[in-house]
Amino acid sequence: MPNNIYLGSYMIKQITLFLGVLYCLPLLAQEKHHEDPTKVITRIGAGYTDNLTLSGSLALDKMRKLNAQSNIEGDEWRIGGSWLFEFGIVNFSFSRSEYDDGGHKKSYSVGTFLPLTVFGVDTGKWMIFPMAGFNHTKGEIVINSDEIESLNDLVMVQNTSNGGYLGAMGLRPLDENWTFMTFGGGGAGSGGYSNIWAGAGTSYKINAQQSFNIFGFVSEDDYGTNNKLGISYTYEFD
């Protein structure tokens, strides 16, 4: 009897996995752009803004992957995972961010990228990915004061918020190698919390496995501002 129960459980798991693959076939069947946020693949990367950053993704199968990123000092990082569905990809993450004026925050988030082509929308030469999600944020905000003369004088106040965000990412291939990238969005949450962000850059595909991009972005919320220029390199495994 125990063997029959085990066999039945195993068959249910395999059938569920098989049905999940069938459900995702429209997205899995596409040959995806190397910057496509719905791409599930194993990759490693390195980048530099004001600090060296290492990143990577580990594909568990054709639908799921684990993601991680951290700067070399370890004070800014992100870990999480992704699950591909027919409508797009769902991402969850836990992250920590530092801000230019001394503030910092930790965030738990669940969100998705939805390629408009899946819904039959003709976007021409652009690849458009609307994004939306929910987050829980906790951190410390810097209180501005005329008496602050150095970092040692900063006054920090705890802040916690629950909210959501909306935005979009766009890719515009210029030729076989170069692609223009842009993104932007904003969010709002409890306690009057709000944020906005935007960025743009270019990506160059070296070959089937390697690429690099140059980008800039700005963001602002209750915890502070971030304005950065950077470059990154990515290697994809077959």
Rounded Cα–Cα distance for residues 169 and 15 (Å): 35
Q: What is the pLDDT of residues 207-231, one digit of tens each?
A: 999 999 999 999 998 877 889 899 9
Beta strand spans in the chain (E): 43-48, 52-59, 64-71, 77-85, 88-98, 104-113, 127-143, 155-173, 178-189, 194-205, 210-221, 224-236
Higher pLDDT, 99 or 121: 121
- Full set of structural domains in the chain with CATH: 31-236 (2.40.128.130)
Q: What is the pLDDT of residues 164-214, one digit of tens each?
A: 999 999 999 999 999 999 999 999 999 888 999 999 999 999 999 999 999
Percentage with pLDDT > 90 across the chain = 60
Beta bridge partners of 98: 104
pTM above 0.85, yes or no: no
Rounded Cα–Cα distance for residues 132 and 129 (Å): 10
Query: Which amino acid appears at position 96 of this protein?
Result: R
Rounded Cα–Cα distance for residues 94 and 177 (Å): 33
